[in-house]
Structure 1
Amino acid sequence: MATASKPLLLSDMVSSGEMNQVPSKYIHPITERPSYQNVVPDSIPVIDLQNLNGPNRSQVLDEIRRACSDNGFFQVKNHGIPESIIANMMQMAREFFNLPLQERLKMYSDDPTKANRLSTSYNVRTEKISHWRDYLGLHCYPLQDYIHQWPTNPESFRDIAAEYCRSVRALALQLVEAISESLGLDKDYISAQLGSHAQIMALNYYPPCPQPDLTYGLPGHTDGYVLTLLLQDEVSGLQLLKDGQWVAVDPVPNAFVINIGDQIQVVYNFERCL
């Protein structure tokens, strides 16, 4: 268990109520800072999955193909995950980050190789500039291999998080099949090429920032996974880079933002070369 001789988490620095400016270690160079006036409004497609397994499947697949090709991002609604599961998971995340410091620190580690841990920024061991977030990272598959390492406070955390992870995994596998089929491949092609899919969940907490124009929650990056399914709360902030322009991704209630990962791009490019 970590000790609290100095603040380990950004949220505890902020919650002191004495922070009226961003600490120097979080300030990015001028050329790398956010430029909100240059961010364009949300333009990524929102795809209704209600007809994915019905007579209009080909139309939905075409929407997915175009979204993958043109943006690499899209949002999905009517995805089959009950609103109650989504709401419960969001509530659990809030409750966890509102726990007393000593309780949260039971999960703390700065070791990036540890499967289940609470930490801050991105990689505090190696980075020169820190990022404005705390997060709880959990490995989720096979569930029985990891759930015993998850938090037990809040009391219902494991049950609610496990139900959420199972639901999100089912949706992810359905989307991988749809993406594969939308590319003119067999629906099982991508899964067959990549083998057994791991699953990782990150609960991100971005404390209120006194000078948001000086720092980032996370820097620009690509995801090395197959797919990222992102659940946003009501606070905007996510942006994607398209044609050299940052585009805001506004939250849609109970929708998931789908980010095409590097692995799908590699598989697709390899198939095109055959």
Structure 2
Amino acid sequence: METQLISSGFQYTTLPRSYIRSEPDRPKLSEVADYHNAPVIDLGFGDRKYIVQQISDACQQYGFFQIINHGVSRDIMEKMLKVSKEFFDLPIEEKMKLYSNDPSKTTRLSTSSNLQKEKIHNWRDYLRLHCYPLDKYEQEWPSNPSSFKQIVRNYCIEIRKLGLKLQEAISESLGLDKDYINNSLGLEQGQHMAINYYPKCPEPELTYGLPAHTDPNTLTILLQDMQVTGLQLLKDGKWLAVKPFPNAFVVNIGDQLQALSNSKYKSTWHRAVVNAHKPRISVATFLCPWNNAVIKAPSELIEDESKPIYKDFTYAEYYGKFWSRNLDQGHCLELFKNSREI
């Protein structure tokens, strides 16, 4: 089988044509400034009301925030990044045992984003894992490196606890009962992970690791490589680089939370750029509604007698529509808007 992975060990000196973006669609790296006022929330502060207010402000003004003192140990975070690097450092023949372009597979190694739909590829390989319930999916995960399953299992358990607590705080920040979001999304709400590997790129100004997109899930909890900056977010029409904060996670609002909040909170447009000198790793955990959960805004968030902004839909309907399109094709939520009477 001919590999399509870019983490094959081959050292590229020029960018293959299939990765080169047209001039208007390039990242224009020299124009990107640092995100100096990116919100950082200390979950260990102790004043619940203050933390909830900070989350409300961040979700409305930025669509994301970073969290510290979140309860996940530094050791677990560092081991997760280390074993991720060890996996992508494996010989290509070993990695290819997990390779698949079938998005329905619950454990798979692949490249770019959506090879079936996209015209220009992205400078990324990734390992996609379903993580909940663990007993159902863990057996599918890589056995090499030998420590992979145990380290990833420990990480997944801690991130799920954190994510459910964050959704409680977000629910409160919307003026709802703290259990509203978790109950709406279903007690068996899903959890996926993408371990992203962005190899050194010979011409990073011509391509992306991932182009601009929003996430189709509820929340994304991102663990960043401390050594290499790559995450950029759109704020007021400008792309800004989010520098990794020590022992922090980046929390992105996803499309489901935008719909559930009746657009009070906006899902974040973000992208990943690549580096000419160093590879970069990130670990994104996605909290997702149960497939049959109906996403709808509660009456408390709908003004007067107006319609909610979005039609009711199930997460399975949304996810299917999302993956039927190219990643940077536009905001999938637009397809679920209610018609407005003028």
Tell me if both proteins adopt one fold, taking TM over 0.5 as the criterion.
Answer: yes
1:237 aligns with 2:230: yes
Which protein has the bigger strand share? Answer: 2
Q: Any conservation in 2 of the 1:225–1:261 contact (CA below 8 Å)? A: yes
**Superposition deviation, residue 162 in structure 1:** 0.4
- Structure 2 counterpart of 1:115, which letter? T
Of 73, 78, 88, the match for 1:82: 73
1:199 aligns with 2:191: yes
**Superposition deviation, residue 101 in structure 1:** 1.0
Q: Secondary structure at the match of 1:10?
A: coil
Q: Give CA deviations for 1:215-247 in whole Å, capped at 9, x if unaligned.
A: 000010001111000000021010111121111
Q: Any conservation in 2 of the 1:227–1:258 contact (CA below 8 Å)? A: yes
Q: Any conservation in 2 of the 1:26–1:131 contact (CA below 8 Å)? A: yes
1:66 aligns with 2:95: no
Q: Distance in 1 between matches of 2:302 and 2:95?
A: 49
**Superposition deviation, residue 201 in structure 1:** 0.5
**Superposition deviation, residue 25 in structure 1:** 0.1
- Structure 1 counterpart of 2:159, which letter? V
Q: Secondary structure at the match of 2:190?
A: coil
Of 99, 102, 110, the match for 2:101: 110
**Superposition deviation, residue 187 in structure 1:** 0.5
Q: Distance in 2 between matches of 1:162 and 1:46?
A: 27
Match runs of 1:128-139 below 5 Å = 128-139=119-130
Q: Any conservation in 1 of the 2:3–2:96 contact (CA below 8 Å)? A: no
**Superposition deviation, residue 37 in structure 1:** 2.5
The equivalent residue for 2:155 is 164
The equivalent residue for 2:20 is 27
The alignment yields a C-alpha RMSD, in angstroms, of 1.1
Q: Any conservation in 2 of the 1:107–1:117 contact (CA below 8 Å)? A: yes
The equivalent residue for 1:47 is 41
Q: Distance in 2 between matches of 1:224 and 1:8?
A: 25
1:257 aligns with 2:250: yes
Q: Distance in 1 between matches of 2:201 and 2:4?
A: 17
**Superposition deviation, residue 137 in structure 1:** 0.3
The equivalent residue for 2:10 is 16
Q: Any conservation in 2 of the 1:193–1:267 contact (CA below 8 Å)? A: no
Query: Structure 1: which 5+ residue stretches go unaligned?
Result: none
Of 255, 259, 278, the match for 1:266: 259
Q: Distance in 1 between matches of 2:151 and 2:183?
A: 30
Q: Distance in 2 between matches of 1:268 and 1:16?
A: 46
Match runs of 1:141-156 below 5 Å = 141-156=132-147
Aligned length: 264
Higher relative contact order (CA closer than 8 Å, sequence separation 6+): 1
Q: TM-score, normalised by structure 2?
A: 0.76
Query: Structure 2: which 5+ residue stretches go unaligned?
Result: 263-296, 304-342
Q: Any conservation in 2 of the 1:134–1:204 contact (CA below 8 Å)? A: yes
Q: Give CA deviations for 1:74-100 in whole Å, capped at 9, x if unaligned.
A: 000110101110111111100000011
Q: Give CA deviations for 1:113-142 in whole Å, capped at 9, x if unaligned.
A: 111100000012221110000000000001
Q: Secondary structure at the match of 1:205?
A: strand
The equivalent residue for 1:224 is 216
**Superposition deviation, residue 7 in structure 1:** 3.0
Name the stretch that deviates more: 35-44 or 95-104: 35-44
Q: Distance in 2 between matches of 1:236 and 1:83?
A: 19
1:101 aligns with 2:60: no
Q: Secondary structure at the match of 1:199?
A: strand
- Structure 2 counterpart of 1:10, which letter? I
Q: Distance in 1 between matches of 2:31 and 2:147?
A: 43
- Structure 1 counterpart of 2:302, which letter? C
**Superposition deviation, residue 40 in structure 1:** 2.4
Q: Any conservation in 1 of the 2:5–2:125 contact (CA below 8 Å)? A: yes
% identity of equivalent residues? 53
Of 181, 206, 221, the match for 1:214: 206
- Structure 2 counterpart of 1:232, which letter? Q
1:247 aligns with 2:240: yes
**Superposition deviation, residue 256 in structure 1:** 0.3
